[in-house]
Amino acid sequence: MVPDSLKKEFKTSRGRLVYDGGGIDPDVKLSVEEMAPVAAALVREGLLFDYATHYFYKHPGIAEPRQFSLTENDYQDFVSWMKGKKYQYHTDTERELARLEREAQRDRQTDELKPFLSALEKTLAEKRTHDLMTFRDQIKDLLEQEIAGRYYLEKGNVEASLKNDTELDEAVALLRRPAEMKKILRWPD
């Protein structure tokens, strides 16, 4: 990444300022939810893939990808299916706790802090058992995409992913506001 002091300023043919050394900044900045560590682990370790296959063999068909939605019973079936499955992930909090434990050891404060650190570790372990429900919406979206792919192949996976795409929704909404589009693009009247 290039420091701001070394970036050169340029203007487009329409007079918009752009800077080198950093790629293109979006005209409209959106906050996009990061993938939860548990969801990333389910993807990385192929568990969503495996469950989608399991689902495919139990259900002869599904709605079109953009209409397909897992029911509450379907999601509970997934949670039950996950019991006993081995998968690893670490939250930022768990990483910080491990760092704190190392620091306590280095500072020779392990004995004094051990009860507090153990209690925190236990609380985090209990919380972890609820992560499939805490991040239900995110996991459900990923599952729906994977399942749609089983029935409608790549096209189904892509169509299902567009269903809850906040960036796409914002782009479409912006296209419906021509005055704002002109302002962003500095388009002459």
What is the mean pLDDT of the segment spanning 103-128?
Answer: 84
What is the mean pLDDT of the segment spanning 87-109?
Answer: 86
**Domain residue spans in the chain?**
4-185
Rounded distance between C-alpha atoms, residue 177 and residue 183, angstroms? 10
**Strands of the chain, DSSP E:** 9-11, 17-19
Residue 11 pairs in a beta bridge with: 17
pLDDT digits (tens, 9 = 90+) for 23-76: 667 788 888 889 999 999 999 999 999 999 999 999 999 999 999 999 999 999
Rounded distance between C-alpha atoms, residue 118 and residue 107, angstroms? 17
User: Residue 78: is its pLDDT beyond 90?
Assistant: yes
What is the mean pLDDT of the segment spanning 17-27?
Answer: 74
Rounded distance between C-alpha atoms, residue 167 and residue 31, angstroms? 9
Q: What's the chain's length in residues?
A: 189
